[in-house]
Structure 1
Amino acid sequence: MTGGDILSRIVARRRERLRGTGPDDGPLQGLDRELYARGRLGGDQIRAFPGPLICEVKRRSPSRGDIKANLNPLEQAKTYFRKGASAVSVLTEQDHFGGALADIVSVRRALPDLPILRKDFLLEPEDVAVSWNLGADAVLLIAGVLSFDALARLMEEARRFGLAALVEVHTREEVEKIRPLAPALVGINCRDLRTFQVDLLRPAELMDYVDWPAKIVFESGIFTREDALVARESGCSSLLVGEAAVRDPHCIPALAAVMSKASSDRGARPVPFWRYCARRRAHRVVAAGPGRARPLVKICGITNGEDALLAQDLGADILGLVYAESPRRAPEGLAREMAGLLSVPLVGVVVEGPEPAGFGANPANARGLEQARKDLEEGALAAIQFHGQSSGENISSLAWPAFKAVRPSSPQDARHLLSRCAGPRVLVDAYDRHRSGGTGTAVSEEVLAAVCDLFGERFRGALWLAGGLSPDTVGAVIERWHPELIDASSRLEERVGKKSGQLLESFFRALETG
């Protein structure tokens, strides 16, 4: 492993501590053994753990630095409990997260009925015994840092002490590792602990491979109601929320409300949009091999069934229908007509808020938005793509599933716009002062560089890119910017609103050969 591998550094330091002081660091942290408070979950309580929402007690992280350096674990846990958390995770790793074993004891003694998960990089069976002694009801076991035999031993030790074991995975390989053990509680971490990058679509990608009876916990990267909706759509029954809850416990009721509906909503949509995107991406990687898979492709501006079927047959993953005022506006009823004939999802493209030039709201756009919402509710659309000047901060209040399209005019504008958008993905389109999309213009390289830098700094997201994509340009764009999804429209037309079969074929051929 490289020096840049954050997980390796954390685990190496944990092993140093085990060699130096053993698994029980209590005396070194000023913890009197008489204050230990043993865990007490068992039987039905283990089966009920963890409930819809686990909130985490932590002071800092390697990716974010200090979150709340002066955090009082007991007061934080009490706040979580009052706000509606069903369990608390106490992060006890000292060197990178500022945790302490004493944090568990203080929470347990004051809140005897609140389930406690000890979150740490546990490596030895003795770690489990110490966790029980301190008062934990459950332990986190990370498949990525444990061999199969070590994981089996720690799971058995947890059973022996009556502790729930949350077994964490991040990759398909880790799911295969834990399959013979069939843990009843699986956490899918959106965060790659080697790089600390976050992808909110990772649980949806891995969910289908957990094919034994298990509760699934969605871990990391949750900040907004939209993030929780992605978790629910992925099929997860619980959330583990860290930084967002530490910084602003007022977010807890909204997150808990979303997840309390998880079981009743499961299967409500035949093809949940974000889950579809994650599966489709994974399928392309498996089929082509890592680093060789082409991006997902959205063909937008579809106005007729012939173009829709041709684009699908050539390899489109998503089709876009324009509901806003535009020469490419789809005929009313096209989504309902085509939904049953297509195997790929339809996305409705709308403009919400003032026009780009600042002339106020357009009544035709407002009517288009209402029709798109109706088609989404009826299942003809899988999601809505929002253009316009309105903020993407509370996009689920407008429609869901949904994502925001932004048109940054400069690198600074890119940072401003993307930082305000909720949800797992944002579509970056070319700036035009007068039009909201379909300009045939490419996004400037300066803006794209800023966008990619921001993804790295925020440790989350992937590039969805629109603007000026044609058979002649798409290969170079993919090679330079590595988008996860590309969105093409006007450069594939024989006339406005009508796709060219020849250009579509050339476009997909360029994708496969470029």
Structure 2
Amino acid sequence: MNNVNDILATIIAQKRQDIAKMGFGLGSEIPLKRVRNIVPFMREKGTILEIKRASPSKGNIAINLNPLTLAQTYRESGTKNISVLTERNFFKGSLDDLQKVAKAMSDIAILRKDFIIFREEIRVSYLCGADAVLLIARILSKEELLSFSAECVKFGLTPFIEIASLECVEKLRYVASSLDSLDFADSPDSADSLDSADSVRDSAISSAQIVVGINSRDLRNFSIDTLKPSVYRNLLYQYKMGEKIVFESGIGSAEAAKFIAQRDFYGILVGESVAKNPDLAKSIVSSFLSNVLDSVESGDFVDSKDSLDLLDSLDSIDSAKFIESNKSQIPQSALFWEKIANIIYKRKIPNSPLIKICGITNINDALLAINADMLGFICSLKSPRNIDYEAIKQIKIELEKSTQKIPLFIGVITESNSKEGKTAIQLANDGIFDAIQYHNCSLEEYKNFTAKHPNIPIYAAKSLKNESDIESIKDFLHLGNPRILADSIKPGLDSANSTHLKDSAHPTDSTNLPDSTHSTSGIQINKNLVEKAKRLAPLWLAGGINVENIENIINAFKPELIDICSGLEQRPGVKDRDKIKLLFEKLK
């Protein structure tokens, strides 16, 4: 397999070679005339299910699939939109697949998904029966993106523009501000083939026809971040550049589809999971459709034509305004992750981790830790740091008196049915806790918690002992939770915050990091397991972190969040002023 860091360049280079040899049909016969009427793409909130044989990251997914059979299964699931991959080398698709599905599905909108790099490919897509065409902003200049979008509109097709960075947002802004002013009065050279599209084309010549896809997968290295789409969605809302925004990649379950619907995305695009297991299609479509929100107002933010340099920073994103204006519709369980996304992507120091200081037991320590992003309060008799309802409530009251902005309050539990667990749940229901961290829960316990308390934000903290724990993290992420805290090997709650990660089954795999990364017990972090966890989702890391080793741990693993407890204490439950001061100095 090609190096993932240059896979995009490899795909595009191969595409150019193929077109040079075989023409724009890429081995398929292109009809002289379109044989189906255009079906409006993403006319309403909903799903796009994908016909996908393979991918560069996963290899063969469903190499022997029958596109017509799979398309029929998708139609029966309730989807109104189907994506057909036509890239031949890495995804094993073809224009033959597109034509077969388009011919058989007269009532379903068909998206051609490929790495479009020539304007002529738009006309070919139209003739083959596509109703929409994927345009990847990352691989096109802003002039090409505008030209290709205009060509789509000219043929009555929907440009499905995929963005994945601020540079892509800037290109989209250029297209959105330019497309309305283009003159389509003189139709294309191929007017003879446009008869079935005329009515659509005449009524849809504007930027409003654009559907925007935000890919949670980075196509350069295939990593997934399911919070990234929220950041760019909020930016598009703010700049009035996206009425129809689709969440792409990382959706493998009905639970994940529900969670994304609750975060107010117009649609989802699901590929690998339903292509591999078509029986999932119905539950994913049903879950998304039954949880979609009413249209959320973008608000009177900023005109997309304003001359602002979006590439300088993310400071222009006012997610707080989006959250405040829509909190009556978006469930609290989803709003928490919108807040986290906002914090992550607006960090003042690039690549610096978020800080969670755990084990807070009193107002003095909370004030010392006021500059952290999160404060953790342990509600468990297994810990000497256990704290009760009234103490936590009073701490929040005092902090709110002292400053306008306070850290997020996280309740840490080891069981949900204990008196302490129920206290944490009550604190969350009362709006004192922003979320619950469920320490070393089983997948079944997690599912039971979310079913019983659907409005309470929650994430799991899982120990990393061996390879089976990596599989466990995959299972939790599969449910749609954007982050999992990777914690240390010992089962006790406090030992989890005072030791390093170690694979006891493979001690020789432990990385020889500098001595300052060792705890007093000499236990080492298992680099292999931590790196595997990091490849699944941005890394939230706990276990043996202190002011002596934090710089080495950040340099070694580049975590998105670090969780520190005993490493900042004088004694259990009492923080050390000097250690906390030193921590923040080191992170400047």
In the other structure, the counterpart of 1:191 is 217
Q: How does 1:275-286 map to 2 (within 5 A)?
A: 275-284=338-347
The 5 Å alignment of 1:132-281 reads 132-182=126-176, 183=207, 184-210=210-236, 211-214=239-242, 215-232=244-261, 234-260=263-289, 261-264=291-294, 267=327, 268=330, 272-281=335-344
Residue 460 of structure 1 and its aligned partner are, at CA, apart by: 3.2
Match for residue 527 of structure 2?
449
| Distance (Å, rounded) in 1 between the aligned partners of 2:492 and 2:423 | 24
Offset at residue 232 of structure 1 (A)? 3.6
- 2:412 aligned counterpart, secondary structure: strand
**1:53-89 deviation per Cα after TM superposition (whole angstroms, max 9, x unaligned):** 1111010000000000111111111111212323111
2:569 aligns with one of 493, 508, 512 = 493
Aligned counterpart, 1:360:
none
Aligned to 2:90: 96
1:320 corresponds, among 350, 366, 376, to 376
Scaled by the length of structure 1, the TM-score of the pair is: 0.86
Q: Which of 386, 395, 413 is equivalent to 1:329?
A: 386
For residues 437-468 of structure 1, the C-alpha deviation after alignment (integer angstroms, 9 at most, x for no partner) is 55522223466323244247xx5312211112
Q: 1:511 to 1:4 in 2, by over 3 A?
A: closer
Report the Cα distance in structure 1 between the residues aligned to 2:47 and 2:436, rounded to whole angstroms: 28
2:262 and 2:293 in contact (8 A); partners too: no
For 1:339-386, what per-residue CA distance to the aligned partner results, in whole angstroms no more than 9, with x for missing partners?
Answer: 572533222211138xxxxxxxxxxx5333333334334433222211
Instruction: Tell me: CA distance 1:253–1:338, structure 2 relative to 1, closer, same or farther (3 Å).
Output: farther
User: Is contact 1:403–1:425 with CA below 8 Å preserved after alignment?
Assistant: yes
Q: Residues 427 and 256 (structure 1 numbering): CA distance in 2 closer, same or farther, change over 3 Å?
A: same
Letter of the structure 1 residue corresponding to residue 379 of structure 2: Y
1:367 match: 419
TM-aligned CA deviation for residue 418 of structure 1: 2.5
Aligned residues: 484
Q: In the alignment, is the contact (CA less than 8 A) between 2:30 and 2:124 conserved in 1?
A: no
SS at match of 1:371: helix
Q: Which runs of 5 or more residues in structure 1 are unaligned?
A: 354-364
Give the alignment of 1:11-160 within 5 angstroms.
Answer: 11-25=12-26, 28-29=27-28, 31=29, 33=31, 37-41=35-39, 45-46=40-41, 48-49=42-43, 51-160=45-154
Q: 1:418 corresponds to which residue?
A: 473
CA contact (8 A) 1:168 1:186 kept: yes
Partner of 2:413: 350
Q: TM-score, normalised by structure 2?
A: 0.76
Distance 2:44 2:116 in 1: 19
CA distance in 2 between partners of 1:372 and 1:352 (Å): 10
On the 8 A contact 2:159/2:211 being kept in 1, the answer is yes
2: CA distance, partners of 1:253 / 1:373: 33
- The question of whether the paired residues in 1 share the 8 Å contact of 2:113 and 2:133 is answered with yes
Q: Residue 486 of structure 2 contacts residue 540 of structure 2 at CA under 8 Å; is this kept in 1?
A: yes
Aligned counterparts of 1:133 and 1:277: Cα–Cα separation in 2? 45
Please list the CA deviations of residues 417-447 of structure 1 after superposition, one character each: whole Å capped at 9, or x if unmatched: 3233222221111122444655522223466
- 1:333 Cα deviation (Å)? 4.1
Distance 1:366 1:219 in 2: 39
- 2:30 touches 2:128 (CA, 8 Å); kept in 1? no
* Structure 2 gap segments, 5+ residues each: 177-206, 297-325, 503-509, 512-524
Q: 1:58/1:492 Cα in 2 relative to 1: closer, same or farther (>3 Å)?
A: same
Q: Distance in 1 between matches of 2:426 and 2:269?
A: 33
1: CA distance, partners of 2:133 / 2:61: 23
Residues 383, 402 of structure 1: 8 Å contact kept? yes
Aligned to 1:361: none
Distance in 2 (alpha carbons) for counterparts of 1:7 and 1:412: 30
